[in-house]
Chains A and B, each alone.
Chain A
């Protein structure tokens, strides 16, 4: 008997009974980590054969809740019902047995195994792999034709695009006969067209009677694809709505607990002199792969230039080269002065001396020293500032603390405690600490990477306003983001990067997500 026929029979029985029990019912789930209450008395019902969205800010408790459902955490209190039957899920094996499959944000695939090997890993039928492999090949073929889930079963994972790797994760779950599929932020790494394909797959699965839980913070996706949506805030389930009867504005307000602006309010850019000029920028990495291919553009004062693109197409490298963290070939001028791209003068200190500030893409790795106090982080990169160094033998800790406290107040960092280590702040507040440090030195050029990644909606609004203010004060801003909405709403001008090249340039008010999406996928201009 194959997995597919088994599914078919189950679906028939599901369809024939009129009063179907809900696929998942959670009652009164609570979970605390030390003093932090991650989930507070959460109850949720997910109907069979629907796509159910769960939205909420970072740290709202979505992932904790799903980890409980998948057996990674044990709830302190509460009950789980699967298909109307009370079920204990002590580990992920039990979750799989109960028909639950999970697609994680960071894929759990063996890179140098083939698709087929990854699918059967942990679900082998016998010590010899031959029979499982043959069976899996048949099942994959069937699933591919049923759900548009085409992947070459003999391809190595490392050769596949991110979108295809995600399909493998879904196939793994379906191969294990999952009836309930949980996807955690599935579109974060996808191009718009890949995301659309994913949603077609999810709709197909729904029609076959599968139940899908979609965790995301993108309201557009919720509106597009879900049947119902639950909103979480600070560990509590604040509302469940039918998607057809709600709006993005209402959901955003429920998530944050107050009114939010979804569009950034800004005036037309008053662009001035050219600040940055880049010509023939080329970067070859240690593996000999060309990461930047003849990049050229210019950026004026009082202008935000957005760089759109799917992650990994050279945007990160571009930022690091301009920030002096990587050596490259080419010609770059800042206000007419050549910028060294290699050698001892190519470093973060020299760039800061030229009034280039940098909000790095990865604030945990680069932007902050996580175990350092907030006040120590405020000096990171500016530790040579004479205000902090009254003598070569002593740094003025008190001055640094006072400076940090003032910055925290101006940037509404919570809690406003300079003595707290950076790792003790939420993502949004960490980002505000970095932003305060970089903006308040009054840079001519600000390089910003993923300013709102992992940042909650309330803080996103604040950060966007600060960037616009800096622009209006006459700074040039180079913005790299994988969030197309962010690029569209912040930028004055947009460049799209694909495979280390600039695919095209658009004015922000004369383009849309669809056009940019095509460029991001490498479709050349026609």
Chain B
């Protein structure tokens, strides 16, 4: 008797769309309440994020970060593991990139990118392995342990930068600059090969393509391979997975390795692609935004791709707003929070009325 209340297309498009619109309406009321024009603000945000190749460049740069961390959360959630440790795993991924790039000689950026990918994924994965192992073998709740590991990662990175990576005599807790040969091509260089003009300023780089490829790869892994089958079966029903002879401990550990690896690979974009050295707090909260991205993207890789671009827009558009209008920076954080609140936490508030509308339409 409990048929699907909402068609699938509406579940993946209509529900998030209505949620975002509601979040924007409340944001507009807030902007209006502090005496600014909501319409001008929207225009400013859209113009700033999508109005020029400069805006697009930044939007896509942020979106790349969020794709990595969003995928990390989404993969883990397919096994019903809530990996909140993307922040720490991405930070450790940065350390992996820095060590690989600084301490090995790299003749060309392509090889460096390959090496750095391995380093980033490995460090992120190992950082997620410990909570994964503790969950699988000791039953320590993964939400708690991954949160704790974010703090440990931050402190560990601090120690590494101050005591080991910092060049002698420098006051700045950051690594030396990476060698020029390891500098990743920016998007304008790649597009230039095809004769497409693009702004040279934004830091968006080749790791965007890696992130997009990973969206596809993760989708393939989840829905086209035996491993993905086992992960999803375990996520939907642990007793059924156990019945089928799928080891819960094994899946938990594998999934956390994949999830941590994906989060770690974010360092390709922000550390190797943009900063070209390792600094303190390079992740800047992208690990947490990944949770919202995965929630909004319904833990589906393609959903993550779209949600990452939306959040890239919010970041870039928000930065423009803070720069050019009297709207304070804090309000932009509020707008981002509203989007997260509506798309993530208040999901059912939108879903239930939509389900009612659909059942009415069917009955009528």
Main secondary structure of the interface of B (DSSP, over half): helix
Q: Which of A33, A325, A397 contacts B3 (CB 8 A)?
A: A33
Q: Which of B1, B225, B240 contacts A366 (CB 8 A)?
A: B240
B-chain residues with CB within 8 Å of residue A383 when the two chains form the complex: 226, 229-230, 233, 244, 246
Interface residues of A in 358-373 (CB under 8 A from B): 358, 360, 362, 365-372
B-chain residues with CB within 8 Å of residue A59 when the two chains form the complex: 1
In angstroms, Cα B363 to Cα A395, docked, is 40
B226 touches A392 (CB 8 A): yes
Interface residues of B in 1-27 (CB under 8 A from A): 1-5
A367 touches B225 (CB 8 A): no
A347 touches B229 (CB 8 A): no
A381 within 8 A of B: yes
In angstroms, Cα B241 to Cα A388, docked, is 18
B243 touches A323 (CB 8 A): yes
Q: Which of B225, B243, B246, B247 contacts A393 (CB 8 A)?
A: B225
In angstroms, Cα B232 to Cα A349, docked, is 17
A-chain residues with CB within 8 Å of residue B359 when the two chains form the complex: 34
Given known pairs A33-B2, A35-B3, the reply for A380 and B240 (CB within 8 Å) is yes
A350 within 8 A of B: yes
A324 within 8 A of B: yes
B1 touches A36 (CB 8 A): yes
B1 touches A380 (CB 8 A): no
A-chain residues with CB within 8 Å of residue B4 when the two chains form the complex: 424
Interface residues of B in 295-324 (CB under 8 A from A): none
B-chain residues with CB within 8 Å of residue A423 when the two chains form the complex: 2
Interface residues of A in 369-396 (CB under 8 A from B): 369-372, 376, 379-381, 383-384, 388-389, 392-395
Q: Which of B5, B232, B244, B362 contacts A348 (CB 8 A)?
A: B244
B325 within 8 A of A: no
CB distance from A44 to the nearest CB of B (A): 20
Given known pairs A381-B245, A395-B224, the reply for A365 and B239 (CB within 8 Å) is yes
B233 touches A32 (CB 8 A): no
CB distance from A483 to the nearest CB of B (A): 22
CB distance from B197 to the nearest CB of A (A): 39
Q: Which of A34, A324, A360 contacts B5 (CB 8 A)?
A: A34
B-chain residues with CB within 8 Å of residue A393 when the two chains form the complex: 224-225
A-chain residues with CB within 8 Å of residue B245 when the two chains form the complex: 324, 347-352, 381
In angstroms, Cα B4 to Cα A362, docked, is 22
CB distance from A519 to the nearest CB of B (A): 30
In angstroms, Cα B229 to Cα A370, docked, is 14
B-chain residues with CB within 8 Å of residue A360 when the two chains form the complex: 243
A325 touches B1 (CB 8 A): no
In angstroms, Cα B4 to Cα A35, docked, is 10
B1 touches A38 (CB 8 A): yes
A-chain residues with CB within 8 Å of residue B229 when the two chains form the complex: 376, 379, 383, 395
Q: Which of A323, A349, A372 contacts B233 (CB 8 A)?
A: A372
B110 within 8 A of A: no
In angstroms, Cα B1 to Cα A162, docked, is 29
Interface residues of A in 313-335 (CB under 8 A from B): 323-325
In angstroms, Cα B149 to Cα A222, docked, is 62
Smallest Cβ-Cβ distance to A382: which chain B residue: B244
In angstroms, Cα B232 to Cα A369, docked, is 9
Per-residue interface assignment for chain B, residues 218 to 262, with 1 indicating a CB less than 8 Å from any chain A CB and 0 otherwise = 000000111001101100110111111111000000000000000
CB distance from B320 to the nearest CB of A (A): 42
Smallest Cβ-Cβ distance to B5: which chain A residue: A34
CB distance from A342 to the nearest CB of B (A): 15
B226 touches A395 (CB 8 A): yes
In angstroms, Cα B2 to Cα A495, docked, is 39
A-chain residues with CB within 8 Å of residue B243 when the two chains form the complex: 323, 325, 348, 358, 360, 366-367, 380-381
Count contacts between A and B, CB distance < 8 Å: 94
Smallest Cβ-Cβ distance to B1: which chain A residue: A33
A-chain residues with CB within 8 Å of residue B239 when the two chains form the complex: 362, 365-366
Smallest Cβ-Cβ distance to A324: which chain B residue: B245
A-chain residues with CB within 8 Å of residue B242 when the two chains form the complex: 325, 347-348, 366
CB distance from A340 to the nearest CB of B (A): 13
CB distance from A348 to the nearest CB of B (A): 3
In angstroms, Cα B245 to Cα A358, docked, is 12
CB distance from B221 to the nearest CB of A (A): 9
In angstroms, Cα B362 to Cα A350, docked, is 48
In angstroms, Cα B236 to Cα A220, docked, is 39
A424 touches B1 (CB 8 A): no
In angstroms, Cα B5 to Cα A34, docked, is 8
Smallest Cβ-Cβ distance to B3: which chain A residue: A34
B247 touches A347 (CB 8 A): yes
Q: Which of A32, A352, A368 contacts B240 (CB 8 A)?
A: A368
B3 touches A424 (CB 8 A): yes
B244 touches A395 (CB 8 A): no
A369 touches B1 (CB 8 A): no
B-chain residues with CB within 8 Å of residue A324 when the two chains form the complex: 245
B-chain residues with CB within 8 Å of residue A369 when the two chains form the complex: 232-233, 236-237, 240-241
In angstroms, Cα B356 to Cα A34, docked, is 10
CB distance from A384 to the nearest CB of B (A): 7
**Most chain B Cβ neighbours within 10 Å, of A38, A351, A384:** A384
In angstroms, Cα B240 to Cα A380, docked, is 8
Q: Which of B224, B232, B247 contacts A394 (CB 8 A)?
A: B224
In angstroms, Cα B222 to Cα A393, docked, is 11
In angstroms, Cα B243 to Cα A362, docked, is 11
Q: Which of A32, A350, A379 contacts B363 (CB 8 A)?
A: A32
CB distance from B317 to the nearest CB of A (A): 36
Q: Which of B5, B236, B247 contacts A370 (CB 8 A)?
A: B236
CB distance from A38 to the nearest CB of B (A): 6
Smallest Cβ-Cβ distance to A395: which chain B residue: B226
In angstroms, Cα B56 to Cα A413, docked, is 53
A-chain residues with CB within 8 Å of residue B236 when the two chains form the complex: 369-372
CB distance from A428 to the nearest CB of B (A): 15
CB distance from B137 to the nearest CB of A (A): 13
CB distance from B162 to the nearest CB of A (A): 44
Smallest Cβ-Cβ distance to A400: which chain B residue: B229
A-chain residues with CB within 8 Å of residue B232 when the two chains form the complex: 369, 372
In angstroms, Cα B216 to Cα A127, docked, is 63
**Most chain B Cβ neighbours within 10 Å, of A347, A370, A397:** A347
CB distance from B54 to the nearest CB of A (A): 40
In angstroms, Cα B240 to Cα A352, docked, is 15
B-chain residues with CB within 8 Å of residue A323 when the two chains form the complex: 243
B240 touches A367 (CB 8 A): yes
CB distance from B213 to the nearest CB of A (A): 15
B-chain residues with CB within 8 Å of residue A424 when the two chains form the complex: 3-4
In angstroms, Cα B224 to Cα A349, docked, is 21
CB distance from A496 to the nearest CB of B (A): 26
A380 touches B2 (CB 8 A): no
CB distance from A430 to the nearest CB of B (A): 12
CB distance from A40 to the nearest CB of B (A): 14
Q: Which of B225, B240, B241 contacts A395 (CB 8 A)?
A: B225
A-chain residues with CB within 8 Å of residue B247 when the two chains form the complex: 347
B225 touches A365 (CB 8 A): no
CB distance from A176 to the nearest CB of B (A): 29
In angstroms, Cα B178 to Cα A437, docked, is 57
27 contacts between A and B (CB under 8 A): A33-B2, A34-B359, A35-B3, A36-B1, A59-B1, A323-B243, A324-B245, A325-B243, A348-B243, A348-B244, A349-B245, A362-B239, A368-B237, A368-B240, A369-B233, A369-B241, A376-B229, A376-B233, A379-B229, A380-B240, A380-B244, A381-B244, A383-B233, A389-B226, A394-B224, A395-B224, A395-B229
9 closest residue pairs by CB, A with B: A348-B245, A349-B245, A381-B244, A366-B243, A365-B239, A369-B236, A33-B1, A366-B239, A380-B244
In the complex, besides A358-B243, A383-B230, 16 extra interface pairs with C-beta distance below 8 angstroms are A32-B363, A59-B1, A64-B1, A348-B246, A349-B245, A349-B246, A366-B237, A366-B239, A366-B243, A368-B237, A369-B236, A372-B236, A381-B243, A383-B226, A393-B225, A397-B224
Query: Which residues of B are interface residues toward A (Cβ below 8 A)?
Result: 1-5, 224-226, 229-230, 232-233, 236-237, 239-247, 359, 362-363
